[in-house]
Structure 1
Amino acid sequence: MNISATRAVRLVARRELATRLRSKAFVISTLIMLVFIGGYIVLMNVIGSSSNHSTVGFTPATGSLAVSVKSTGKAVGEDITTRTVSEAAGRKQVSDGKLDALVVGGPGDFTVVVKKSLKSGLANTFNVLARQEALNTQIRSLGKDPADVNRAVASASVHVQPLQPAGEYQTQRLVLGIVAVVLLYMSLMINGQAVAQGVVEEKSSRVVELLLATVRPWQLMAGKVLGIAVVGLVQMIVFAAVGLGLGLATGVLSIPAALLTGTAVWTIVWYLIGFFMYAVMLAAAGALVSRQEDANSVVTPVLMLIIVPAVIGWSVIPANPDSQLGHVLSMIPLFSPMLMPMRIALGVAPAWEIALSVVLSVALVVGLVALAGRVYRNAVLRTGARVKLSDALRSA
């Protein structure tokens, strides 16, 4: 039966897609990752909401300090809730963990009671307040009005002239970039290895001989890679939608939606480029062996081309996003899928660098498809001992 090349590739891809989307491994791995993403966002929300919030008790004698403590805390980034209690009740609540601190004494000479230690945000708040109270005392001793002096001090500011614009949401963008690359890395590793394992499985079970009676080798390879790429793409879209949705809903991410969407889209684009780049090499590598036991020996060198750029990217980019090394490495096709999404998320990748890296990477993919197709064609029907790469490249 003769069928067109497009239909042959589509049939093979549809077979891979239907088989893998229904598999327990796909469902379980997707659910595990969704639980991980949801748990991480919830944890970040809890940490973010609790780390900068404190409850402070005041006795009737120190109640006049409550307003000053709240305003001072706001100035240093600490959200403080105040409560008026008796000293005895307040000390018990501090001991029980219901109050982070209790202010006793008087406005001019107060003491802060804590269970074990004063958290850093509250320590900064009370240190600033103590200095202000000491300054007010000195001002009064000179016969001046502390309110007038405080207003003059509050209106004073330093003029800052930055040489480069400061990046907004830098910490959140860094976290977003790291998460995007981690998801991309895991998807490439899992789905890339699935390509090689599928090739070896079909070859060892002789199913490939039946398939090649209907389609050509390059069509079988292309269909397999395309089908598994779509499976990974479905996962990436689900992960991005759930992660961004939860991040925005919980307030963990305050980055504008346009920046979040742009990062998600570019992550998916680089997933597709990276997947085709590595998957065709893994398909060719899988065709060189006939047993699953031998697969690691041919798959590991290709996986190292994913692992090494990822490790370098996680080390170089977060430490210095705009470094010259990051600029250069992100332009090299084998490094681009791991480094460029992070630089895009951080907003340090110029448009021309993104465009050039895409062009270079796509060009490499085209070359790898031709080379891997030759290896696959010449090795996939050869059973028994491992086929040498040089022999697969030379065979007619």
Structure 2
Amino acid sequence: MRNIFLVIKREYLVRVKKKSFLIMTLLGPLLFVGFYATVIWVAIGSVDTKTVQVLDESGLFRNEFKDSETLHFDFINGNIDSAKTDFRKTEASALVYIPKNVIREPKTVRIYASKNVSLDLKSEIEKVIEKQIEDIKLSEAGITHKILEDSRVNVSSETISLSEEGEKNSSSAAATAIGGVCAFLIYMSVFIYGTQVMRGITEEKTSRIVEVIISSVKPFQLMLGKIIGVALVGLTQFLLWIILTVGLTSATSAIVSSQMSKESPQVQQEIEKMQNGMPGRGMPGNAVENPMAEILGAVNSLNIPLILGCFLFYYLGGYLLYSALFGAVGAAVDNDADTQQFMLPITLPIIFSFVFAQFVLRDPDGSLAFWTSIIPFTSPIIMMVRIPFGVPAWEIALSMVLLVIGFMGTTWLAARIYRVGILMYGKKVTYKELAKWIFYK
């Protein structure tokens, strides 16, 4: 046990002290917060006013095109040919031509520009024209636009979980988001840190350092120490990422809030639209009044302690299961190029798990979700997708027990390969050869 602890300590300290570890630990949160800040900065800096000329031969739309923070409408007179000629001499973004018979033939509307107009601008113009034509036709039929708007109902249902503890608010959107994020983190960590175990073993084998190490440490102890050491490095990095990201995000939000108070009302309105999720000039009156409160309420409706506890277990369980196999591959080959032939059978279950997760999100209680959350090779990702939706305790317990058994099985298998392959040089390894190594006495 002492030897395993020494290997864990060495692997942990060597990797944590590397410049690459420190750089990535700091760079990850900075990139996330930088992206967040860039989106806000672009939203603030992109507020500029475009001029749109309107030639309305019908005379029905002069009072319908309203100036906004980003658009200024300039109504002109004359015929379309002279309007197009004069348009080339101006800095206007577009020229809208509305013919006299637009009510009967709405497809005769034309938008001219020196280059292609944006989809938002085209949609904005079409929306105004469509609304006015609808109002005119409804008025002719004796129906006002207000009556039509009042007849439209927007249903927003509230989901409530019924359990032995009573009724409890739930959120499908929050469950989907948190389940997807947890599954993605496990998916990435298995690849990143499992590959680190494999490359570390391959480097030591290639440099012949391992021949000195195993004179004092048994091969199994060396492999297990490497696996646990890298796992602790991953947990340390995750913890630092969470702390730094929360701190930097809070600081960035405070700075943005202080800047908003100094900006013009026009910029403040654009920022509020972005935060409320309102594209273009806005949404109908049912827009979210306090999106942050709604998000926090959705998150609080979930069993956060259970999700965090299960995430920690499945992160470690999935990593330990796959890293043992990655370690066996690293011990069996002499260089990184030879690892490719053995990587595919190991990575396929991980990739399939991530693909299956998309279907499990649609039906968290289906047969596919159940069986893939029980099988050890897919359970770390699939179970984390299901847990925010609510999973019976016996299914979680069965999945955990099978994952532990799976880890013990892959560790035993990897140790049988590791003890032979770690000192094997200059021989092209095949699957048949690996099978022989497993049963060597």
Q: Mark yes or no: TM-score above 0.5.
A: yes
Q: Distance in 2 between matches of 1:348 and 1:127?
A: 46
1:329 aligns with 2:331: no
In structure 2, distance between residues paired with 1:321 and 1:124:
40
Aligned twin of 2:409 = 367
Change (3 A) 1:393 1:292: same
- Assess, with a 3 A threshold, how the Cα gap between structure 1 residues 361 and 113 changes in structure 2: closer, same or farther: same
The 1:233–1:205 alpha-carbon spacing in structure 2 relative to 1, beyond 3 Å, is same
* Structure 1 residue 130 displacement after superposition: 5.1
Correspondent of 1:280 among 324, 348, 354: 324
Residue pair 1:200, 1:295 contacting (<8 A) in 2 also: no
Is 1:301 aligned with 2:297?
Answer: no
Alpha-carbon distance change, 160 to 199 in structure 1, aligned in 2, over 3 angstroms: closer
What's the offset of the Cα at 1:126?
Answer: 6.3
RMSD: 5.3
Q: What does residue range 125-140 of structure 1 map to in structure 2 within 5 Å?
A: 127=130, 131-132=134-135, 134-135=137-138, 138-139=141-142
Q: In structure 1, how many angstroms separate the alpha carbons of the residues matched to 2:363 and 2:42? A: 26
C-alpha distance after superposition, 1:338-362 (max 9, x if no partner): 32323345x3655544443223212
- The answer on whether the counterparts of 2:417 and 2:437 sit within 8 Å (CA) in structure 1 is yes
Structure-1 separation of matches of 2:428 and 2:11:
25
Partner of 1:143: none
CA distance in 1, matches of 2:63, 2:33: 43
Conserved in 1, the CA contact under 8 Å of 2:190 and 2:318? yes
Shift of residue 205, structure 1, vs aligned partner:
2.4
Tell me by how many angstroms 1:368 deviates.
2.1
Match of 2:384 in 1: 341
* CA 1:87–1:156: 2 relative to 1, 3 Å: closer
CA distance in 2, matches of 1:129, 1:168: 39
Give the letter aligned to residue 369 of structure 2.
Answer: G
Taking structure 1 as reference, are residues 56 and 273 closer, same or farther at Cα in structure 2, changes over 3 Å only? farther
1:119–1:113 distance in 2 versus 1, CA, 3 Å: closer
Shift of 1:199: 1.5
Aligned match for 1:154, one of 137, 140, 150: 150
Which region of structure 1 is more displaced relative to structure 2, 259-268 or 42-51? 42-51
Counterparts of 1:374 and 1:300, CA distance in 2: 20
Retained in 1: the 8 A contact 2:64–2:128? no
TM superposition score normalised by structure 2: 0.61
* Letter of the structure 2 residue corresponding to residue 289 of structure 1: V
Distance 1:236 1:294, change over 3 A: same
Deviation of 1:153 after TM superposition, in Å, equals 7.0
Q: Deviations over 1:76-113 (max 9, x none)?
A: xxxx869887646xxx9xx968999999x9xx9xx998
Ranges in structure 2 where 5+ consecutive residues have no aligned partner? 55-59, 77-86, 104-108, 162-168, 254-273, 278-290
CA pair 158-220 structure 1, distance change in 2 beyond 3 A: closer
* Equivalent residue number for residue 313 of structure 1: 357
Tell me by how many angstroms 1:372 deviates: 2.4
- d(CA) in 1 for partners of 2:365, 2:62: 50
Uncovered stretches (5+) of structure 1, i.e. residues with no partner = 71-79, 141-145
Equivalence for 2:14: 19
State the Cα distance separating 1:331 from its structure 2 match.
2.5
Q: CA deviation at 1:208?
A: 1.9
Deviation at 1:275, TM superposition (A): 0.5
TM-aligned CA deviation for residue 169 of structure 1: 5.8
Code of the aligned partner of 1:329: T
The equivalent residue for 1:9 is 4
- What residue in structure 2 maps to residue 198 of structure 1? 200
Of residues 206, 221, 224, the one that matches 2:223 is 221
Look up the equivalent residue of 1:328 and give its one-letter code: W
3-state SS, counterpart of residue 381 of structure 1: coil
Q: Whole-Å Cα distance in 2 between the matches of residues 228 and 162 of structure 1?
A: 44
**How many angstroms does 1:320 deviate by?**
5.5
Aligned-partner Cα distance in 2 for 1:49–1:341:
37
Going by fraction, where is helix more abundant, 1 or 2? 1
Distance 1:96 1:355, change over 3 A: farther
Distance in 2 (alpha carbons) for counterparts of 1:179 and 1:102: 49
Moved more, 225-234 or 334-343: 334-343
- Please state how far the C-alpha of 1:224 moved relative to its aligned partner: 0.5
The aligned length equals: 365
Asked whether the equivalents of residues 56 and 81 of structure 1 are also in contact (C-alpha less than 8 Å), the reply is no
SS at 2:333 equivalent:
coil
Are the structure 2 counterparts of residues 202 and 169 from structure 1 closer, same or farther at C-alpha, using a change threshold of 3 Å? same
Once residues 234 and 20 of structure 1 are traced to their aligned partners in structure 2, the CA distance between those partners, rounded to angstroms, is 11
Structure 2 residue corresponding to 1:237, chosen from 227, 236, 239: 239
CA contact under 8 A between 1:177 and 1:343: conserved in structure 2?
Answer: yes
Give the superposition deviation at 1:385.
Answer: 2.4
Query: Per-residue CA shift, 1:9-46, capped at 9, x if unaligned?
Result: 22211211111123244345556654654466567778
Aligned CA distance change for structure 1 residues 161 and 219 (closer, same or farther; 3 Å): closer
Q: 1:12 to 1:96 in 2, by over 3 A?
A: farther
2: CA distance, partners of 1:241 / 1:209: 40
